[in-house]
Amino acid sequence: MISERSRIAHNGSAERLARRVLDALEDVGHTTPAAAHLESAVSLPPHEQSVAVAAVRMLGADVLAPHALTGSAPPPEEGAAVALALDALPPARPAPAAPPDGDGQPWTMAWIDWSVVTVLARLDPATATPAAPVPQVPPQCDPGPERRRPPTATAGGPAYEGWVPWSVRMSQLSSLALPGLDGPVHEAARSGLTGLARGATRAVLRRDFPTAARITRWLAWAHAERLPLPLDPAPLTEHIALLGGGGRLALEIAIARRLLGLGPA
């Protein structure tokens, strides 16, 4: 069980790392945010060093977003820092079972691990770590009462969730919404664009701006894929940017803006 104090420490470290990545994305800070983040913890007690390492894992592929969005290779020390974090906290093997049969949290973390390992291997093969196991196929968005499907897998097919829990689950996987990544999660997003639009709108109305930003980023990714969307994610992105706060939310918005071709704020 993670204590509240530990949770605050981990979230705070992830916020600071997200700010570093955002600065790198906007060319106003370090080009090696992960390396700088780990270096800043070298003189700290061991448990605080572990928290800094965990922050790299929490951000997943987003820690490499400045390079994933441009296709450029990260500096050697940056790739080495990400590889170090993956080595210290290796992906679970075998990958956890997908919900509803398995626990959603470790399954989500397994997909986040897969994303950063895959992006690192593509951008910096020299420092790539062993391939992470591909987790089980994610649930898909229930298309609604007019096309109602069973809530659990049938004949080896995927499970289906209502659009509310499904969109929240997809928000937790927003770090996969980057160029160069593709897999079952992305297929679920392509087939559930209406659910994503509903989920983003619901989160905004509830003033849950972190969730709204993460779901809207999936819509921005779909825009970059030239998929037809039920709403325009650009004004939604700008609206969330005005009302939301925090380093991780700001990074989500910045990545969404790049995917939408809007450039820096």
- Which domain range does residue 250 map to? 137-143+158-265
Shared-domain flag, residues 215 and 258 = yes
Residue 235 maps to a domain: yes
Residue 11 maps to a domain: yes
pLDDT band for position 157 (cuts 50, 70, 90): low
Classified as helix, coil or strand, 160 is strand
Residue 260 maps to a domain: yes
Shared-domain flag, residues 108 and 191 = no
pTM: 0.91
- For position 155, what pLDDT does the model report? 46
Under 8 Å CB-to-CB from 229, ≥6 apart: which residues?
193, 197, 219, 222, 223
Shared-domain flag, residues 77 and 123 = yes
Residue 152 maps to a domain: no
Residue 41 maps to a domain: yes
Eight-state DSSP code of residue 150: -
pLDDT, tens digit, 9 for 90 and up, residues 29-73:
778 999 999 999 888 788 888 999 999 999 999 999 999 999 999
Decide: residue 143, CB within 10 A, 0-12 exposed, 13-18 middle, 19+ buried: middle
- For position 145, what pLDDT does the model report? 57
Shared-domain flag, residues 3 and 119 = yes
- For position 1, what pLDDT does the model report? 47
The total number of structural domains in the chain stands at: 2
Residue 148 maps to a domain: no
Residue 91 maps to a domain: yes
Q: Is the pLDDT of residue 180 over 80?
A: yes
